[in-house]
Structure 1
Amino acid sequence: MKKIHLLLLKSFIRPFIVTLFIVMFVLLMLFLFKYIDDLIGKGFQWYIILELMMYNSATNVAMALPLSVLLSSIMTYGSLGENYELVAIKSAGISLRRAMYPMMVVVVILSIAAFAFSDWMLPRANLKYYSLLYDARKQKSADLLPENIFSNRFPGYSIRVKRKDKDGQTLHDIMIYQRGALQINHIVTFAKSGLMYRTKDDLFLVLRLKDGVRYEETPSDNNYFQRQKLTRFRFKETEQKFPLSDLTIKRTNENEFRSASMMMNLKQLDHYVDSASRSVDSSVNTNYTLIRPYIKYFAVPDKWAAIKHVAPADSNILKSVNEKLNSYNNAAIEVKQLQDVLRNRTDSYKDSSKSIRRYIMEYQRKFTLGAACIVLFLIGAPLGAIIRKGGLGLPVVVSVIFFLIYYIIGTIGEKSAKEGDLSPIVGAWIAIVVLFPIGLFLSYKAATDSAVFDMDLYKRFFKRFRLRKAKQPV
């Protein structure tokens, strides 16, 4: 390997790793801002939050990787152009295209790795992430005893706390109702103050009550008199334990999420599309079988030309008004029955077709991730050589603009394909098809040392244009 190629590789790998981590961190912060209300205050263990963040980072690779390739390529070639290293490379007789070969090889290897990641790792990460996020959002709040509200979080108990101190553990004016077998409040406890804490194993919540009274109603021991007994018990300090089994996150079976398109690899997606297409075709044939009894027609012989005389239609078939009304009503009833039969089957056909388009889009997305890395590199490398600016200033602005163009076109194509306005293949590849000619154009301009972004060139052009317009006779 030549020293120039080694220099280019070192100049690319370092900013690529840095920008990848920066973009992943930004996307992770967006995830936390979006779901902060669903995660905070539910008593999760720290490793549950960490696991959720790890799976979310894996799902963000599909967006972070192309942006990192674009930004790092602009930074690499912009820094080389700013330090006149590209000029030295060209003066040594090495063209820009030849200097891009080792970088292109690295990006192609990266694209192959992105395809393998999207086909093998990403479905598993999506399955873990969305199933865990579903269970986390479904989990109840860990604020067990809110102020001035009867809390029914513990089975068989209704607890109200009038006021809590700032530490969240010291309670005042506590009222506890305990229900019996018949769901009747037969034990009532009042306490002026108390302390709330959890056991070390997080299995129970302990309420240490102070200065209170307890009332309990129990059936009488005398079978002849069914009146209940009331027991009053005053205490200076007592404790009550409540199980915290409901606070432990309950995991849903992951097999319930496996039918989603994001949880499948290429083989599974191909099998689903094939079986769903066969089911739709079978449904169409079934529709024809259902509506055929409603269609009445007269069979005309093939040799109709041999028929010498056709009897005219009898206009007096429906002789009375009542017969005509009955015929119209029967026809309307048959039409309504046919509409009812087809309406449900039409909705089912639309849902099945939309599902097939969505799975085809997911199938194509496995390939577009790697293709996006190549296309965005073809845009970023010559763009950096043209603007000749390194660092995180202008390259970040330019890369964000092009990535927004790529993302907006891809989103519009994806939604149009899911609604049936575009073919799923066209909707998946439209952003790549639009940006690929731009990459080729910028590569050609960079190879020919064209001043595409030289503002002085445009200023001189408009200045000559204004002078020429001013010299024209009125």
Structure 2
Amino acid sequence: MKKIHLLLLKAFIRPFIVTFLIVMFVLLMLFLFKYIDDLIGKGFEWYVIAELMMYASATNVAMALPLSVLLSSIMTYGSLGENYELVAIKSAGISLRRAMYPMFIVVAILAVSAFVFSDYMLPVANLKYYSLLYDARKQKSAKLLQEGVFSSSFPGYSIRVLKKGDDGQTLKDIMIYSKAPKTGNMDVTLAKEGTMFRTPGDKFLVVKLRNGVRYAEDAGDNGYNRRQRLIRFRFKETEVKLDLSEFKFKRTNEEDFRSAFVMMNIKQLRNYQDSTKRIIDSSESRNFSTLMPYIKFYAIPKKSDSVKNYIRYNKKNILAGMKTTEQISAVSAAQSEIRSIQDMMKSRNEGFKETGKNIRRSVVEYQKKFTLSVACLVLFLIGAPLGAIIRKGGLGLPVVVSVIFFLLYHIISTIGEKGVKDGAWNPIVGMWIAIFVLTPIGMFLSYKAATDSALFDLESYKRFFNKLLRRKAAV
């Protein structure tokens, strides 16, 4: 390997690692901002949050890797152009294509690694991430009794505490609604003050009430009216034991999430598509055999002793020659058969629509595993010549330009993906349309950079328009 190639590799790897970590950090912050209300205040251990963030970072690689390749390539070649190192490289007889050669190999290795990651590691990360996120969002808040709010976290109880002490255990003005599961009676307990504490092992929350009254309604002796008798019970001190088993973090079986397409690799997606298509084909043959009994054919010999008068078939009016009562009976029977067929096929049609949607979703996930790798190559094809043209390094103009091109790629790919899921676009066209659009742009920029075109030089555009205005003035 030539020294110039080693220099370019060193100049590319450092900004690539930095930009990749920065993008991953930003995406992770977006994840935290989105689910902060579902994670804070539920009593999770630190390692649960750390595990969830690790899996969330793995799922963000599909977005972070192409953006990092684009941004780092613009920064690398922009810095080389700004420091006139590209000029020195070209003066040594090395063209821009040869200077991009080692970088292209590195990006190709990254693309292959991205494909392996998306096929083997990403399905496992998605399974861990979505199952853990589901359990975390389902977990009840660890803030058991908040001030001035009715809490229904405990089964069969609704509790309101008007004010809490500084220690968090002293309670003031307590109201407890308790409902018996069998009789449905509603009991109300009011207390001026109380304290709460947890039993060993955090199995129960005990609320000790002082100076209160309890109201209860029951059916009385007759049993007809559930609210016939009112019982009032005053107390100096009593306690209520509340079950805390619902507040313990429980994990759902991960096997329940494996049917989602984001948790499947290429082999599993292909097997699903093949098996589902076979089911559709067999269902279509069963539909034909199901409809045949509703279609009746009658064959009568031309000469028959039992039939004396034949009615000639009329194409314009198939009921011609029949009596009015016979026509009404025939039409009613036909309508009944049609309604039966419609009712039977309606449910089957809904099943076919849902199966078609699932097939399209599986195709989307199947194509994503390839588009991620190709996107890295295409965005590098845009970023490297673009950096050589703008000749600006650092995190200023390269960040703006890279974000614009990445948003263009992301918006086009999102529109294509939605079109495939809705069935409006062909899967190949919809999933690869962003690649089809950006590849010519990358080739055009590579040509301009190789020919030292001043594509973003404002002075050249000013000179062009000044010449154009002079010509118009002379005319």
Q: Which is further off, 38-47 or 403-412?
A: 38-47
Shift in Å at residue 59 of structure 1?
0.5
The one-letter amino acid paired with 2:363 is I
Candidates 442, 452, 455, aligned match of 1:449: 452
- Flag the 1:399–1:181 CA change in 2: closer, same or farther, 3 A: closer
2:158·2:178 contact (CA, 8 Å) conserved in 1? yes
1:187·1:214 contact (CA, 8 Å) conserved in 2? no
Cα distance in 1 for residues equivalent to 2:469 and 2:136: 65
Q: Which runs of 5+ in 2 are unaligned?
A: 217-228, 300-310
Match of 1:192 in 2: 192
Superposition CA RMSD, Å: 3.0
Shift in Å at residue 340 of structure 1?
2.0
SS in 2 for 1:413: helix
Candidates 456, 461, 465, aligned match of 2:464: 461
SS in 2 for 1:234: strand
**1:253 and 2:256 aligned:** no
Cα distance in 2 for residues equivalent to 1:329 and 1:190: 69
**1:58 and 2:58 aligned:** yes
- Flag the 1:89–1:208 CA change in 2: closer, same or farther, 3 A: farther
Match of 2:332 in 1: 329
Cα distance in 2 for residues equivalent to 1:312 and 1:180: 78
**1:375 and 2:388 aligned:** no
**1:112 and 2:115 aligned:** no
Q: Which is further off, 171-180 or 110-119?
A: 171-180
1:212·1:234 contact (CA, 8 Å) conserved in 2? yes
Query: What is the CA deviation profile of residues 420-453 of structure 1, one whole-angstrom value per residue up to 9, with x for unaligned ones?
Result: 2222122111111211121111111111111111
1:74-93 pair list within 5 angstroms: 74-93=74-93
1:431-442 pair list within 5 angstroms: 431-442=434-445
Cα distance in 1 for residues equivalent to 2:356 and 2:187: 59
Cα distance in 1 for residues equivalent to 2:281 and 2:177: 61
The one-letter amino acid paired with 2:339 is K
1:74·1:380 contact (CA, 8 Å) conserved in 2? yes
**Number of equivalenced pairs:** 449
2:147·2:163 contact (CA, 8 Å) conserved in 1? yes
Shift in Å at residue 149 of structure 1?
4.9
2:192·2:212 contact (CA, 8 Å) conserved in 1? no
| Seq. identity, % | 66
Match of 1:343 in 2: 346
2:199·2:206 contact (CA, 8 Å) conserved in 1? yes
- Flag the 1:102–1:175 CA change in 2: closer, same or farther, 3 A: same
Q: Which is further off, 200-209 or 111-120?
A: 200-209
Shift in Å at residue 246 of structure 1?
0.9
Cα distance in 2 for residues equivalent to 1:197 and 1:102: 66
Q: Which is further off, 168-177 or 69-78?
A: 168-177
Match of 1:302 in 2: none
- Flag the 1:459–1:252 CA change in 2: closer, same or farther, 3 A: same
- Flag the 1:181–1:128 CA change in 2: closer, same or farther, 3 A: closer
Match of 2:138 in 1: 138
Query: What is the CA deviation profile of residues 305-348 of structure 1, one whole-angstrom value per residue up to 9, with x for unaligned ones?
Result: xxxxxx95368853322222222222222222222222222221
Match of 2:364 in 1: 361
SS in 2 for 1:73: helix
Cα distance in 2 for residues equivalent to 1:341 and 1:230: 61
1:361·1:425 contact (CA, 8 Å) conserved in 2? no
Q: Which is further off, 317-326 or 453-462?
A: 317-326
- Flag the 1:193–1:432 CA change in 2: closer, same or farther, 3 A: same
Match of 1:413 in 2: 416
Shift in Å at residue 6 of structure 1?
1.4
Cα distance in 2 for residues equivalent to 1:325 and 1:186: 62
Match of 1:265 in 2: 265
The one-letter amino acid paired with 1:428 is M
The one-letter amino acid paired with 2:272 is Y
1:23·1:68 contact (CA, 8 Å) conserved in 2? yes
The one-letter amino acid paired with 2:345 is L
Cα distance in 2 for residues equivalent to 1:280 and 1:187: 57
Candidates 370, 384, 393, aligned match of 2:396: 393
Cα distance in 2 for residues equivalent to 1:189 and 1:319: 81
The one-letter amino acid paired with 2:364 is M
Cα distance in 2 for residues equivalent to 1:7 and 1:201: 61
Match of 1:223 in 2: none
The one-letter amino acid paired with 1:212 is N
- TM-score normalized with structure 1 length: 0.86
2:191·2:211 contact (CA, 8 Å) conserved in 1? yes
Shift in Å at residue 187 of structure 1?
8.9
Query: What is the CA deviation profile of residues 105-141 of structure 1, one whole-angstrom value per residue up to 9, with x for unaligned ones?
Result: 1101111110111011100111111111112222223
Query: What is the CA deviation profile of residues 44-95 of structure 1, one whole-angstrom value per residue up to 9, with x for unaligned ones?
Result: 2222222211111110100010001000000010011001111111111111
Shift in Å at residue 244 of structure 1?
2.0
Shift in Å at residue 356 of structure 1?
0.9
- Flag the 1:177–1:284 CA change in 2: closer, same or farther, 3 A: closer
Query: What is the CA deviation profile of residues 169-215 of structure 1, one whole-angstrom value per residue up to 9, with x for unaligned ones?
Result: 44212245667786677998654333445568544435455x53577
The one-letter amino acid paired with 1:234 is K
Cα distance in 1 for residues equivalent to 2:349 and 2:86: 62
SS in 2 for 1:205: strand
- Flag the 1:389–1:191 CA change in 2: closer, same or farther, 3 A: same
- Flag the 1:425–1:258 CA change in 2: closer, same or farther, 3 A: same
**1:426 and 2:424 aligned:** no
